[in-house]
Amino acid sequence: MAKDRMLKFVTVAKQMPTKRDAAERKHDFHEIYREFAADKAAEQAGRCSQCGVPYCQSHCPLHNNIPDWLRMTAEGRLQEAYQLSQSTNTFPEICGRICPQDRLCEGNCVIEQSGHGTVTIGAIEKYITDTAWQEGWVEPIRPAQERGESVAIIGAGPAGLAAADALRRAGVQVTVYDRHDRAGGLLTYGIPGFKLEKEVVMRRIRQLEEGGVQFELNCNVGQDISFDAIRGKHDAVIIATGVYKSRDLNVPNATAPGIVRAIDYLTASNRKSFGDEVPEFDSGELNAEGKRVVVIGGGDTAMDCVRTAIRQGAKSVKCLYRRDRANMPGSQREVENAEEEGVEFVWLTAPRGFVAEERVEGVMVSQMRLGAPDATGRRSPEVIEGADYVEPADLVIKALGFEPEDLPRLWGVEGLDVTRWGTIRADFRTHATSLPGVFAVGDIVRGASLVVWAIRDGREVAESVLDYLADAPAIAAE
Ligand SMILES: Cc1cc2nc3c(=O)[nH]c(=O)nc-3n(C[C@H](O)[C@H](O)[C@H](O)COP(=O)(O)OP(=O)(O)OC[C@H]3O[C@@H](n4cnc5c(N)ncnc54)[C@H](O)[C@@H]3O)c2cc1C
Ligand code: SF4
């Protein structure tokens, strides 16, 4: 059945333009594609053995009821599958697209463990919720009753948005403050559109706006409004500001023109995809087209940079990483995708400086080997003396990871405790900080993490804030 539809799908896709109305052809194409996708989803979902030890579920940070919604999908009960899926996940279609499933649900599927290839859980989760949007099953946010309390959320990334959704559904007045001109945090300006289409994020933001969430955009807390002013205006505050301080290199010529930060490079590319004017992109400063690009780093951000550079038409793209393939932090799936697209990985290499006159011309590369394991058991990279060489480059992108900004200092807040890593110290369960009525979630607490954890935090903190608001009159009276 699925094979027949595939043939029909390919035939229609290849059809040369005819006199038939283009809209009619497009409609046929979409209909056949939908039928084909439905068959594929049902076929995949039907592969779940309903093993009874759902490691997939326990390895999903949201503990999604995966086996049940797979069974419903296999039986064609898509609307029920959607309802079950969205009961534990605020943005299932986003997680379905960008969770590193090989490290979470799919990596722990018993069929995968037995060597028969995982059920494609993420793709099915995406399919279920995309279908729900198309079919109009996604309900608008309509609180049963309005409440008088107001909550401020600083940061419109997935953690802040998940909290906003849950609080608004409970009738709370919610204002989300963000320094960007669009909401979404890294969903909007970090993660590239080829992994997560921007319209998928924007329709969620429209849903929140239409449901009564107020967005105060272009509002940099600490500059445009003080943290204390926000505290004074609202009954509770949730800090969900993410981590944005890029780790840097302390080597010769590290500030030469042509050496850029991953976040700037990716933000420019994402802004372009919205049709924005981006002078740094148009001038070529943040555009890889026609350039020899070297990306430094081995995490998921580095993978996004190399794959974006390929799409921008770079002449060549190389990724330098100081350990080997088996020891890199990024997803192996992403590496395979990047290799297929033409990226060259140069394992066991690290920059020791840059060749630069007016702008960067090359990276001085040290070759490395893996030495003895360190305290964590991970083998440390060591420089091989005398094996340096120069890698020519017109654009170097530093993707070395992110650290938290020093919020108490930037915001002039006393009494907001941070950890020794600079992340905000918050209770693991309630997400309460050291300041009464102030909560913190997402990357600013965990350090650079994942969207699915941010969503979990956002859902959990909403519960805690509701408890706090319920107790607040009693606290005030004490
Ligand atoms: C390039 C890149 C690719 C990634 N790819 C993936 C992936 O494929 N899958 C995955 O699961 N995770 C991925 N991640 C990680 C994921 O994006 C983060 O873990 C997640 O977005 C964290 O959510 P958050 O809400 O805590 O913070 P963020 O998404 O960072 O949002 C924080 C928001 O706070 C705002 N803000 C910060 N300071 C202020 C201030 N002073 N005033 C007002 N607003 C402020 C910011 O503008 C931002 O909008 C990626 C990260 C990066 C950098
Ligand atoms: S949220 Fe992520 S980990 Fe959980 S089922 Fe979906 S794709 Fe898997």
pLDDT value at position 214? 98
Q: What is the mean pLDDT of residues 135-158?
A: 97
> What is the model's pLDDT at position 97?
96
Among the bound ligands, the one closest to the CA of 160 = 1
Looking at the predicted structure, is the pLDDT value of residue 275 above 90? yes
- The preferred substitution site among 98, 103, 186 for testing ligand 1, maximizing ligand atoms within 8 Å of CB, is 186
- List ligand 1's pocket residues with C-beta within 6 A: 98-99, 154-160, 177-180, 185-186, 190-191, 195, 220-222, 240-242, 266, 300-301, 304, 442-443, 449-452, 454
User: Sorting pLDDT into bands at 50, 70 and 90, what band is 7?
Assistant: low
The pLDDT of residue 317: 98
- Residue 154: phi, psi to the nearest 5? -100, 110
Give the position, in ligand 2's atom list, of the atom nearest the Cα of 89.
1
178 pLDDT above the threshold of 80 = yes
What pLDDT score does 329 carry? 83
Instruction: Decide if 380 contacts 371 (C-beta within 8 A).
Output: yes
| pLDDT at position 1 | 47
Q: Between 229 and 38, whose confidence is greater?
A: 229
Q: What is the pLDDT of residues 279-331, one digit of tens each?
A: 999 999 999 999 999 999 999 899 999 999 999 999 999 999 999 998 888 78
Over the chain, what is the mean pLDDT? 92
Residue 435 has pLDDT above 60, yes or no: yes
How many A from CA of 157 to the centre of ligand 1?
5
Model confidence pLDDT, tens digit, residues 247-264: 999 999 999 999 999 999
Across-strand partners of 440? 239
The Å distance, Cα 406 to ligand 1 centre, comes to 16
For the stretch 69-108, pLDDT in tens is 999 999 999 999 999 999 999 999 999 999 999 889 999 8
Q: What pLDDT is recorded for position 95? A: 98
Q: What is the mean pLDDT of residues 372-396?
A: 90
Q: How far apart are the C-alpha atoms of 72 and 45, rounded to whole Å?
A: 8
pLDDT at position 57 over 70? yes
Please state the rounded mean pLDDT for residues 45-63: 91
